[in-house]
């Protein structure tokens, strides 16, 4: 799976349900699993902790040599199975058995945190009616839906032509807005919300690429 090709719901296909449409440029890094050179935004940085354990460094701030792996579950699993972390680190390392699950969880938490910041800034709404209102006013910049989104509701939002990203389930999305469940949310489009939209798009795509059911 790529950042630009996020899986759609069961009744929506094509380009409407997407991943990131704008990936920041930057210095290239090499994935230890695929040998591909690409920007850090398409990779997960890992480092070896003082106790020798491999840990994900999503913020790319931890000290130590970076071990870069493409933000895809298949690439992470390949690095684990083929012992590529030790080869890249040039020393014995301990790789947690749940490393893939840990990365998936941390990526979801990070993307949801960005959505929460947009909500606190007054740039995000939840609930189908409010999302429709934002679209009708021409103010919607990004649509965020839970995994449960499907059917007529999802098709109606897709018809708006706006980018749609899936991010967590209805309970996780609802927690951002103080609700028990939320299936549909939207981030407003304005100068102040531009960074929120980009971070959420990229974060959601990275999370979906690293999910255990990712097809790569």
What integer pLDDT is reported at residue 192 of this predicted model?
A: 67
pLDDT digits (tens, 9 = 90+) for 53-109: 999 999 999 999 999 999 999 999 999 999 999 999 999 999 999 999 999 999 999
Instruction: Measure the CA–CA gap between 20 and 31, rounded to whole angstroms.
Output: 20
Residue 176 has pLDDT above 70, yes or no: yes
The CB-side HSE value for 162 (13 A sphere, CA atoms) comes to: 26
Contacts of 167 (CB under 8 A, 6+ apart): 108, 111, 112, 115, 144, 145, 146, 173, 200, 203, 204, 207
What integer pLDDT is reported at residue 26 of this predicted model?
A: 62
Taking phi over 0 as left and psi of -120 to 50 as alpha, with beta for the rest, 151 belongs to left
Q: What is the pTM of this model?
A: 0.83
How far is CA 91 from each of CA 25, 43, 52, 61, 124, rounded to the nearest angstrom? 31, 22, 9, 21, 46
Neighbours of 14 (CB within 10 A): 8
pLDDT digits (tens, 9 = 90+) for 142-151: 999 999 999 9
Same fold for the pair 29-102 and 108-209: no
Residue 45 has pLDDT above 70, yes or no: yes
Percent of the chain with pLDDT over 70: 86
pLDDT digits (tens, 9 = 90+) for 122-142: 999 999 999 999 999 999 999
Pick the CATH number of 108-209 from 3.30.1330.30, 3.40.190.290, 3.40.50.20, 3.40.50.1370: 3.30.1330.30
Q: Sheet holding 54-56: strands in order across?
A: 54-56, 43-48, 67-70
Residue 11 has pLDDT above 50, yes or no: no
Structure tokens that stand for 210 in this block: 């690293």
Characterize 140-177 residue by residue with b for buried, 16 or more Cβ atoms within 10 angstroms of its Cβ, and e for exposed: bbbbbbbbbbbeebbeebbebebbbbbbbebebbbebb
Of the pLDDT bands very low, low, confident and very high (cuts 50, 70, 90), residue 195 is confident
Pick the CATH number of 29-102 from 3.50.50.60, 1.10.1750.10, 3.60.21.10, 3.30.1230.10: 3.30.1230.10
Neighbours of 106 (CB within 10 A): 17
Sequence spans of domains, the chain:
29-102, 108-209
């Amino acid at each position: 799976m790529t950042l630009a090709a996020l899986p759609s719901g069961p009744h929506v296909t094509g380009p409407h349900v997407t991943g990131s449409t704008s990936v920041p440029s930057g210095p290239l890094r090499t994935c230890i699993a695929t040998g591909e050179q690409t920007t850090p935004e398409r990779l997960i940085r890992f480092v070896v902790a003082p106790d020798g354990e491999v840990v994900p460094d999503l913020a790319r701030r931890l000290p130590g040599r970076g071990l870069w792996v493409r933000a895809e579950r298949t690439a992470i699993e390949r690095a684990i199975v083929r012992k590529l972390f030790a080869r890249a680190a040039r020393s014995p390392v301990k790789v947690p058995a749940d490393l893939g699950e840990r990365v998936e969880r941390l990526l979801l938490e990070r993307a949801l945190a960005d959505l929460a910041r947009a909500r606190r800034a007054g740039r995000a709404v939840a609930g189908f009616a409010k999302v429709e209102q934002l679209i009708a006013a021409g103010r919607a910049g990004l649509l965020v839906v839970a995994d449960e989104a499907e059917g007529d509701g999802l098709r109606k939002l897709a018809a708006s032509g706006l980018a749609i990203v899936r991010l967590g389930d209805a309970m996780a999305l609802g927690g951002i807005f103080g609700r028990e469940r939320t299936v549909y949310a939207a981030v407003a489009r304005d100068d102040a919300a531009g960074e929120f939209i980009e971070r959420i798009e990229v974060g959601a795509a990275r999370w979906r690429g690293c999910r255990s059911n990712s097809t790569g």
